[in-house]
Amino acid sequence: MKSLHIEEISVRHFRNLARVDLRPSPRFNVVYGDNGQGKTNLLEAIYLAATSRSFRTVKPGESVEHGADTASVRTVLSEGELRREQTVGLRAGQRLLKIDGKRPATAAEYAIRTPAVLFHPGDLSLSMGAGSERRRLLDRVALYLLPASLGETLSYARAVRERQRALEMRGTEARDLEQWEELVVRHGLAVMAARRLAAADLAASMSIAFTRIAAPDLVLSVEYAPSAPDDAEAYRRELERNRRVDLKRRGASIGPHRDDLALGLQGHRMRGTASQGQHRAVVLALKAAEMDVIGGARGVRPILLLDDVSSELDRERTASLFSFLREQQGQVFLTTTRRELIETEKLPDAATRERLDFAVSKGVISPSDEAS
């Protein structure tokens, strides 16, 4: 697998980061500071430049510094022997992407160029919460396996919206419903096929990661749970049958927007039955699998962004998190309010030698010379 890392990053007017220029370590970067100083904003800027997306908002203007018109994030990346520049410019309602000064032919081309994975170690909602986060995970992974799935997801959402509008404006017998339902089925099935592929790869990779993290006798099952039939005719008929109900509930009752990635332990659904420790192990395994699958699809080691490795981490959690980190050979950015928690001896040797720490205070980020 090729190495991939950010050599330089320049941030302008991105949230509270008015002007930041950094040369991070190719391996391990610890970003520390008090609450609300701009640590997560830096991770958001890195994730944005890598993938074209923010993990906090879909509105470009929201990340622009209050009082400024535009924001930008520029990164110089090294991948194996090659270097490239990726930049994202933001203003209200607009996002401008460039690779080496040129606009990419498609949004997907930019989105899969630099794989990055974000992980909040304290956040269990990926396994405990509703399906939306797991659908997003499936779509992120599917994008690397089938880049065209990005366009299919957008076309599906549009077809569902138009069908709903037709229902609400013209009723259940509207003439154009048939045409929208056909599009819903066509794009819906394409989204489902891509997610099925993503789920199968995640499941295979996860079962290996899970046996390392959790007790060996725990049996984990990971399965794609589509909401609509995978036969086109059956899907179309069901949409037609549901028209009245969908009009009332103001949304389609079946389709990929209601899919899930079903997680089970010892034959039982995890939600509502698994312990906190088990949820944590599953979330860690899911993240390890995301790194593995998207890294494998691109042939590079993804950049890992770990947000808020902070005080509430107990001993058990820190231990499994650090053993996960020991296996990561790529570039890591970790934020913490408690720098002393990030004990160098628990990190892999190469990461320790190449560790750089950055202090964040009121949106100003500076390399720190003193050892932790």
Ligand X SMILES: Nc1ncnc2c1ncn2[C@@H]1O[C@H](COP(=O)(O)OP(=O)(O)OP(=O)(O)O)[C@@H](O)[C@H]1O
Please, which of residues 289-348 interact with ligand X by CB under 6 A? 308, 335, 337
Tell me: does residue 12 bind ligand X (CB under 6 A). Answer: no
Please, which of residues 47-66 interact with ligand X by CB under 6 A? 64-66
User: CB count, 10 Å around CB of 299?
Assistant: 12
Q: Give me the sign of the Cα torsion angle 246, 251, 255, 258.
A: negative
Tell me: does residue 70 bind ligand X (CB under 6 A). Answer: no
Of the two residues 3 and 318, which places its CB atom closer to ligand X in the complex?
Answer: 318
Cβ neighbours for 190, distance < 8 A, ≥ 6 positions apart: 148, 149, 152, 156
Tell me: does residue 15 bind ligand X (CB under 6 A). Answer: yes
Tell me: does residue 236 bind ligand X (CB under 6 A). Answer: no
Of the two residues 35 and 81, which places its CB atom closer to ligand X in the complex?
Answer: 35
Cβ neighbours for 62, distance < 8 A, ≥ 6 positions apart: 54, 56
Position among 3, 7, 8, 16 found at the interface with ligand X (CB under 6 A): 16
Cα Rg, the chain, nearest whole Å = 22
Q: Residues binding ligand X: what is the number (CB under 6 A)?
A: 17
**Nearest-angstrom CA–CA distance, 321 and 317:** 6
Position among 26, 33, 115, 295 found at the interface with ligand X (CB under 6 A): 33
Provide the minimum distance between the beta carbon of 56 and ligand X in the complex, in angstroms, as a whole number. Answer: 8
Using a 10 angstrom Cβ sphere, with 0-12 exposed, 13-18 middle and 19 or more buried, the burial of residue 217 is exposed
Of the two residues 66 and 250, which places its CB atom closer to ligand X in the complex?
Answer: 66
Tell me: does residue 120 bind ligand X (CB under 6 A). Answer: no
Could you list the residues known to form a binding site, using ranges.
33-40
Could you list the residues known to form a binding site for ATP, using ranges.
33-40
Q: Which helix (H) or strand (E) holds 94?
A: strand 94-99
Of the two residues 254 and 306, which places its CB atom closer to ligand X in the complex?
Answer: 306
**Nearest-angstrom CA–CA distance, 272 and 129:** 10
Contact residues: ligand X, CB under 6 A = 15-16, 33, 35-41, 64-66, 308, 335, 337, 360
